[in-house]
Structure 1
Amino acid sequence: MRIHVTDILDGDKLSSDVFNDYGLHVLSKGTKLYKSEISRLLQHHIDFVDIEERQLSTPAAHNGRTLESIVNPKWLPNVKPLYESAVKSFETFFSSAEATGKIDTDQVAEAINPLIKNLQLERDVVSMLLLLNSEDNYTYQHSVQVGMLSYYLATWMNYSQEESTRIGKAGFLHDIGKSKISDTILNKPSKLTKEEFDEVKRHAELGYHIILDSFGDESLAIGALQHHERLDGSGYPNGLSGDQIHPISKIIAVVDIYSAMISARVYQKERDLLYVLRELHRLSFSELDPVTTHTFIKHMIPNFIGKRVRLNTDEVGIIVMTHPTEFFRPLIQIEDTFIDLTIERDFEITHVYM
């Protein structure tokens, strides 16, 4: 049974091996097709595949799910309790840091190591964070999300598993200095005064000392100290620029902004996810390290394949393929029509439905 890739249903099984136009083996006969496999086919510019005859009793046939359907993550029952446990643990860590200036290193490992281990099984980071994110406990959730994203970005930048885990840990701990800042200031719904903002900025140095005193590890502490430094020298606390900023801090800086912008907080409405990535792209030409930022965007964009979008014409379609360099101009399917935004320059995506 030969079908177009956009007609694949979750659970369809390949009846033959799939190769791309260069003869590279993409997927094996017998592979069951879900969102990640469909994304892989589209990235290799494969239009048609041969699948085994569908059985009407299969979940995919019964539900009629297609690319447009929302991902049904098999990892959620395992990851969600670990995520919620880590968020709860960070409340304890913040209380300990506030009271004693230190955190228990063994407790930190117990909270984050199982989560990182399970992250290795899931690559649809966009859907994962949306399903896990809530409006409660922003500071603690933000710490956990930055840790998760720091781990992912480190692996995408070809750090070893051991190094990526350490960078993830640095991301988890990056905001621990906020334990020493008043909740009234941190959760203020209106704009901070200059004095209040100066107080918030202290969290970078405070966190550095808490981590160093607790772990004795400069590479963990440097992420807390420098994650608000910017390449053009406009950041804090020391106004560092360029290569003065540690590579770990450059990673945490990117994901810190992403997590903050996708979250619903007391003083801001969560932003459209594609808008957030566009903003990171803009900052990569001034404040953020371009290699780090573009690596993050390049690996996040394919997760939008299968998501519904609204165009500036008010038409609604589905992203079926992303572009390796023009990140924000994918191939869109609207019913039986395909629009390549790299060619049709008058079209723009105005919203992504998640």
Structure 2
Amino acid sequence: MRIHVTDIIDGDQLSGDVFNDYGLHVLSKGTKLYKSEISRLLQHHIDFVDIMERSQPSSEEEPSIAGRTLESTVNPKWLPKVQPIYENAVKSFEKFFSAALETGKVDDAEVTNVLQPLLNNLQLERDVVSMLLLLNTQDDYTYQHSVQVGMLSYYLATWLGYSNNEAAKIGKAGFLHDIGKCRIEDAILNKPGKLTPEEYEEVKRHTEYGHEIILRSFEDSSLALGALQHHERVDGTGYPGKLSGDEIHPISKIIAVVDIYSAMISARVYQKERDLLYVLRELHRLSFKELDPVTTHTFIKHMIPNFIGKHVQLSNGDIGVIVMTHPTEFFRPLIQISEAFIDLTVERDYEITHVYM
């Protein structure tokens, strides 16, 4: 039975192996199809698959039609719905920021009401790289960064195997991780030049300020640890407590990774945004010393497939398209240039210098 991928029902089973247009194996015969498998098919630009005959559902059961949720991966039809929710979260964080400064607290119910609709819509969209670029606004960096870290913390938690409820809590911790910056003067936060040693020490205190605000606002102390420890590093070089290894809470290890990613892809008064692949390379480098390696490599492993189909420039000036990524050599994918293919795991003289989004 041959069907379009947008007509797949959760649990449909492939009746044969699936290959992409370049002859590369994508999925094996017998694979049951759910969101992750369907996303993989779409990333490889596969429109039709052959499935085994379906068993007839009972009259009381209504099958879950995965296709309704997949159009967003092919064509961002989700954007008109999600963008207002995202922009509301950014504007609402500004209000939480002001409330925390004035009262020393934020309202748990209000935070949930703002954040949960965004997280609910994130469950269906897996091209995180493109999504953040499409949702990016010109709002104040601090507010937008907090929303992005909340979103990415949620994603990374699900990739690490946390339940949806746990991932939502971790997303909330990410959303609030910088709330302590409400007590830092704008002149210091937005200073275009280098901070003085005194100014830097004051900026570092945002972790302790945030910890205090969240403890006063929420019953779950792990949310406050996300604010306190997200600048700690597994080698003991972070702040404020110079914690190392397992002294750092797992939630804080998650926020540490996505905090760096969001900060590096954003343009700020003192920094230009970096190339997206460069940022992932930098995270990979940090995973051997400062960041938790399992957490960091899980993030990279799930972000890299989003680059399939993206145009890239190689170190020799050629422009090509990523057609397949490597499971361990994250930054050396298979590139198509016209009719030719370059496997960067074999052709070691080539490097990707830029990704075109």
Where on the TM-score scale, by shorter chain, does this alignment land: which range?
0.7 to 0.9
Q: Does residue 142 of the first structure (1) align with residue 145 of the second (2)?
A: yes
Which 4+ runs in 1 deviate beyond 3 A? 9-13, 20-28, 33-36, 48-51
Secondary structure in structure 1 of the residue aligned to 2:113: helix
Counterpart of 1:220? 223
- Distance in 1, Cα, partners of 2:80 & 2:111: 22
- Distance in 2, Cα, partners of 1:50 & 1:206: 54
Corresponding residue to 1:263 among 262, 266, 278: 266
Distance 1:214 1:49, change over 3 A: closer
Q: Does residue 329 of the first structure (1) align with residue 332 of the second (2)?
A: yes
Q: Compute the displacement of 1:24 (Å).
A: 3.3
Question: What TM-score, normalized to structure 2?
Answer: 0.84
Secondary structure in structure 2 of the residue aligned to 1:222: helix
- Distance in 2, Cα, partners of 1:222 & 1:184: 27
Q: Compute the displacement of 1:106 (Å).
A: 1.2
Q: Deviations over 1:314-338 (max 9, x none)?
A: 0000000000000000000001101
Q: Does residue 159 of the first structure (1) align with residue 159 of the second (2)?
A: no
Q: Compute the displacement of 1:254 (Å).
A: 0.1
Corresponding residue to 1:19 among 8, 17, 20: 17
Q: Compute the displacement of 1:40 (Å).
A: 5.6
Q: Compute the displacement of 1:121 (Å).
A: 0.8
Distance 1:49 1:106, change over 3 A: closer
Distance 1:306 1:207, change over 3 A: same
Q: Does residue 37 of the first structure (1) align with residue 41 of the second (2)?
A: yes
Counterpart of 1:57? none
Q: Does residue 211 of the first structure (1) align with residue 209 of the second (2)?
A: no
- Distance in 2, Cα, partners of 1:141 & 1:232: 29
Secondary structure in structure 1 of the residue aligned to 2:161: coil
Question: What TM-score, normalized to structure 1?
Answer: 0.85
- Distance in 1, Cα, partners of 2:163 & 2:6: 33
Corresponding residue to 1:120 among 119, 123, 127: 123
- Distance in 2, Cα, partners of 1:23 & 1:72: 26
Distance 1:121 1:228, change over 3 A: same
Q: CA RMSD in A?
A: 2.6
Superposition map of 1:195-210 within 5 A: 195-210=198-213
The aligned amino acid for 1:132 is L
Counterpart of 1:347? 350
Gaps of 5+ in 2: 9-13, 19-24, 51-72
Corresponding residue to 1:282 among 277, 281, 285: 285
Secondary structure in structure 2 of the residue aligned to 1:319: strand
- Distance in 1, Cα, partners of 2:112 & 2:146: 14
- Distance in 2, Cα, partners of 1:278 & 1:174: 24
Task: Decide whether the 8 Å contact of 1:26 with 1:41 is kept in 2.
Answer: no
Task: Decide whether the 8 Å contact of 1:135 with 1:264 is kept in 2.
Answer: no
Corresponding residue to 1:92 among 90, 95, 106: 95
Distance 1:156 1:251, change over 3 A: same
Secondary structure in structure 2 of the residue aligned to 1:323: coil
Counterpart of 1:79? 82
- Distance in 1, Cα, partners of 2:227 & 2:312: 36
Counterpart of 1:243? 246
Counterpart of 2:62? none
Gaps of 5+ in 1: 1-8, 43-47, 52-69
Superposition map of 1:183-198 within 5 A: 183-198=186-201
